[in-house]
A and B are shown apart, each in its own frame.
Chain A
Amino acid sequence: ETGVTQTPRHLVMGMTNKKSLKCEQHLGHNAMYWYKQSAKKPLELMFVYNFKEQTENNSVPSRFSPECPNSSHLFLHLHTLQPEDSALYLCASSQEAAGETQYFGPGTRLLVL
């Protein structure tokens, strides 16, 4: 098990549902990230938080809403998703958001029906 945990590991939701993904890091890092990984596509950076402040929103649709209450926890709130949002959602953390080594959680496999 890595120092970054994610729950749930698998999620199936309908397009009208509201759900949240949770990430927690136990590494004492100050930066946290959300990535989306679709089949046969590169990792897509979604959001960056550095010292609890959002420093990057990579043109992500508003149906994805991040929340970072402290440096150890990161949430991704989901509502009215589309089937094309089905993907592996990965959380990562690094000491600071300065291009340093990022450590990934196990991911949440999301299926939108």
Chain B
Amino acid sequence: QKEVEQNSGPLSVPEGAIASLNCTYSDRGSQSFFWYRQYSGKSPELIMSIYSNGDKEDGRFTAQLNKASQYVSLLIRDSQPSDSATYLCALNPSSYKLIFGSGTRLLVRP
């Protein structure tokens, strides 16, 4: 089992819809969780971090963490074509480094 699993996509949603991106992980000791966005040919940029169970909202983005079920998700409300990118889930599996998933490609159709 991979340490961090994401559906590669593409996930296609119409403009204005809610995009839901999911990530599961194997190490129950993971404490820190991150969502990064990466446009084609660019470097990853941090969207959100989450450390506690529950929801964390920042503008159109909501991160959800459920440690018991070992998943973290990212919801994007009112999706825009500019949100089209690859979204990387990353976590800290009880060590000093981050482990990244392979990413989910999101396509927002105008």
Which residues of A are interface residues toward B (Cβ below 8 A)? 2, 33, 40-43, 45, 48, 50, 55-56, 88, 90, 97-107, 109
- Please state if B44 and A104 are interface contacts (CB–CB under 8 Å): yes
B102 on interface, CB distance cutoff 8 Å: yes
- Please state if B49 and A50 are interface contacts (CB–CB under 8 Å): no
- Please state if B96 and A50 are interface contacts (CB–CB under 8 Å): yes
Chain A neighbourhood of B102, CB < 8 A: 40-42
Known: A42-B100, A42-B101. A101 touches B92 (CB 8 A): no
Chain B neighbourhood of A105, CB < 8 A: 43
- Please state if B45 and A97 are interface contacts (CB–CB under 8 Å): no
Q: How far is the CA of A67 from the CA of B46 in the complex (A)?
A: 26
Chain A neighbourhood of B92, CB < 8 A: 98-99
Known pairs A97-B96, A101-B49, A106-B42. 16 more at Cβ < 8 A? Answer: A2-B45, A40-B102, A42-B101, A43-B44, A43-B100, A45-B99, A50-B96, A56-B96, A56-B97, A98-B92, A98-B96, A100-B32, A102-B46, A104-B43, A104-B45, A105-B43
Specify the chain A residue showing the minimal Cβ separation from B42: A106
Per-residue contact bits, chain B 12-56, to A (CB 8 Å; 1 contact, 0 not):
000000000000000000011010000001111110010000000
B88 on interface, CB distance cutoff 8 Å: yes
CB distance from B14 to the nearest CB of A (A): 26
- Please state if A102 and B45 are interface contacts (CB–CB under 8 Å): no
- Please state if B46 and A99 are interface contacts (CB–CB under 8 Å): no
Q: How far is the CA of A41 from the CA of B88 in the complex (A)?
A: 12
Chain A neighbourhood of B31, CB < 8 A: 99
- Please state if B100 and A99 are interface contacts (CB–CB under 8 Å): no
CB distance from B2 to the nearest CB of A (A): 9
Q: How far is the CA of A48 from the CA of B102 in the complex (A)?
A: 20
Chain A neighbourhood of B90, CB < 8 A: 102
- Please state if A42 and B103 are interface contacts (CB–CB under 8 Å): yes
